[in-house]
Amino acid sequence: MTVTDPALGDARETAAPGVATRILRSPSLRLIVRRLLAAIPIIIGVSLLTFIVLSLIPGNAAQLLLGPEATPEQVEAMTRQMGLDQPPVQRYLDWLGGALTGDLGTSLVSQQPVTSELGVRLGVTGELVGLAFLMSLGFAIPVALLAAYRPNRLFDRVSMLVSITGLAVANYVIALLLVLVFAVQFTFFPAIGYVPLSQGLGENLRSMLLPAVSIAFPLFCFYTRFLRGDLVDQLQGEDYITTARAKGIGPWQVLLRHAFRNSSFGLLTVVGLNLGTLIGATVIIEQIFALPGIGQLMLQAINTRDFVVVQACVVVFAVVAVLANLVTDLLYAVLDPRIRYGNR
Amino acid sequence: MSIEEMAERTAIVADGGGQPLLEVEDLRVRFESRGRRVNAVNGLSYRLYEGRMLAIIGESGSGKSVSSRALMGLLPGSARISGSARFQGRQLLGLPDREMRRHRGADIAMVFQDPARSLNPTMRIGAQITEAVRAHGDVDKRAAYERAMELLQLVRLPAPERRFHEYPHQLSGGMRQRVMIAIALAADPKLLIADEATTALDVTTQAQIMELLLELQERLGMAIILISHDLGLAATYAHDVIVMYAGRAVEYAPASTLFAAVRMPYTEALLGAIPRLERPPHSPLPVTPGQPPDLTALPAGCPFEPRCPRAQDDCRTEAPPFTEHEPGHWWACYHPCEGSSS
Per residue in A234-258, pLDDT tens?
999 899 999 999 999 999 999 999 9
Q: Is the pLDDT of residue B26 over 90?
A: yes
Task: Return the pLDDT at B202.
Answer: 87
The answer to which of A64-68, A146-150, B232-236, B329-333 has the lowest mean pLDDT is: A64-68
- Rounded distance between C-alpha atoms, residue A146 and residue A134, angstroms: 19
Percent of chain A topping pLDDT 90: 37
Chain B contact set for A261 (CB, 8 A): 120, 122-123
B104 touches chain A (CB under 8 A): yes
Task: Return the pLDDT at B340.
Answer: 54
Handedness of CA B328, B330, B336, B340 (dihedral sign): negative
Is A1 close to B103, i.e. CB distance below 8 A? no
Task: Return the pLDDT at B70.
Answer: 95
B161 touches chain A (CB under 8 A): no
Is B73 among the domain residues?
yes
Place A99 in a pLDDT band, splitting at 50, 70 and 90.
Answer: confident
Chain A residues within 8 A (CB-CB) of chain B?
A: 1-7, 236, 238-240, 242-251, 253, 257-258, 261-262, 335-338
Place A341 in a pLDDT band, splitting at 50, 70 and 90.
Answer: low
Residue B256 belongs to domain with CATH number: 3.40.50.300
Is A258 close to B123, i.e. CB distance below 8 A? yes
List all residues 6 or more positions away from A231 whose beta carbon is below 8 Å from its beta carbon: A144, A145, A148, A255, A259, A260, A263
Q: How far is CA B297 from CA A227, B147, B311, B313, in A?
A: 38, 49, 20, 20
Is B124 among the domain residues?
no
Chain B contact set for A340 (CB, 8 A): none
Is B115 among the domain residues?
no
Q: What pLDDT, in 10s, does the model give residues B191-220?
A: 999 999 888 888 888 899 999 999 999 999
Closest CA relative to residue B336, chosen from B324, B144, B328: B324
Chain A nearest-CA distance from B191, in A, is 13
Q: List the single residue in A239, A247, A251 with the smallest CB-CB distance to B112.
A: A239
List all residues 6 or more positions away from B157 whose beta carbon is below 8 Å from its beta carbon: A1, B163, B175, B178, B179, B182
Please give the average per-residue pLDDT across A164-193, as a whole number: 88
Q: Is the pLDDT of residue B182 over 90?
A: yes
CA angle A216/A219/A220 to nearest 5° reads 80
The answer to which of A87-96, B231-240, B262-271, B324-333 has the lowest mean pLDDT is: A87-96
Q: What pLDDT, in 10s, does the model give residues B130-178?
A: 999 999 888 999 999 999 999 999 999 999 999 999 999 999 999 999 9
Chain A contact set for B97 (CB, 8 A): 251
Task: Return the pLDDT at A213.
Answer: 94
List all residues 6 or more positions away from B4 whose beta carbon is below 8 Å from its beta carbon: none
Task: Return the pLDDT at B239.
Answer: 94
- Rounded distance between C-alpha atoms, residue B54 and residue B242, angstroms: 7
Task: Return the pLDDT at B342.
Answer: 44
Is B118 close to A242, i.e. CB distance below 8 A? yes
- Rounded distance between C-alpha atoms, residue A217 and residue A236, angstroms: 28
Helix-then-strand count for chain B, H and E: 13, 12
Task: Return the pLDDT at A1.
Answer: 39
- Rounded distance between C-alpha atoms, residue A143 and residue A140, angstroms: 5
How many CA atoms lie less than 13 Å away from B308 in the CB half-sphere? 26
Task: Return the pLDDT at B14.
Answer: 43
Is B104 close to A240, i.e. CB distance below 8 A? no
Is B63 among the domain residues?
yes
B189 touches chain A (CB under 8 A): no
Place A5 in a pLDDT band, splitting at 50, 70 and 90.
Answer: very low
Is B333 among the domain residues?
yes
Place A16 in a pLDDT band, splitting at 50, 70 and 90.
Answer: low
**How many distinct structural domains can be found in chain B?**
1
Task: Return the pLDDT at B214.
Answer: 93
- Report chain B's mean pLDDT, rounded to a whole number: 88
The answer to which of A265-274, A328-337, B2-11 has the lowest mean pLDDT is: B2-11
- Rounded distance between C-alpha atoms, residue A204 and residue B192, angstroms: 61
Is B65 among the domain residues?
yes
Question: Domains in chain A and their CATH numbers?
Answer: 119-303 (1.10.3720.10)
Place A8 in a pLDDT band, splitting at 50, 70 and 90.
Answer: very low
- Report chain A's mean pLDDT, rounded to a whole number: 85
Mutate to test the interface with B, among A150, A234, A240, A340 (most CBs of B within 10 A): A240
Chain A contact set for B104 (CB, 8 A): 245-248
Three-state secondary structure of B163-206: HCCCCHHHCCHHHHHHHHHHHHHCCCCCEEEEECCCCCCCHHHH
Task: Return the pLDDT at A17.
Answer: 63
Domain that holds residue B328: 1-107+224-274+283-342
Chain A contact set for B169 (CB, 8 A): 337-338
More confident residue, A221 or B7: A221
Is B132 close to A7, i.e. CB distance below 8 A? no
Q: Is the pLDDT of residue B264 over 90?
A: yes
Q: List the single residue in A4, A239, A248 with the smallest CB-CB distance to B105.
A: A248
The residue in chain A having the minimum alpha-carbon distance to the alpha carbon of residue B163 is A7
Closest CA relative to residue A27, chosen from A340, A284, A286, A241: A340
Task: Return the pLDDT at B341.
Answer: 46
Is A248 close to B122, i.e. CB distance below 8 A? no
Q: What pLDDT, in 10s, does the model give residues A28-65?
A: 788 888 888 888 888 889 889 988 888 887 777 777 77
Chain A nearest-CA distance from B278, in A, is 30
Is B112 among the domain residues?
no
- Rounded distance between C-alpha atoms, residue B242 and residue A89, angstroms: 84
DSSP H helices, chain B, are 3-15, 64-72, 97-103, 115-118, 125-135, 141-154, 160-163, 173-185, 203-220, 231-237, 255-260, 265-272, 313-317
B96 touches chain A (CB under 8 A): no
Is B120 close to A5, i.e. CB distance below 8 A? no
Q: Is the pLDDT of residue B18 over 80?
A: no
Is B170 among the domain residues?
no
| Element housing B337 (H / E) | none
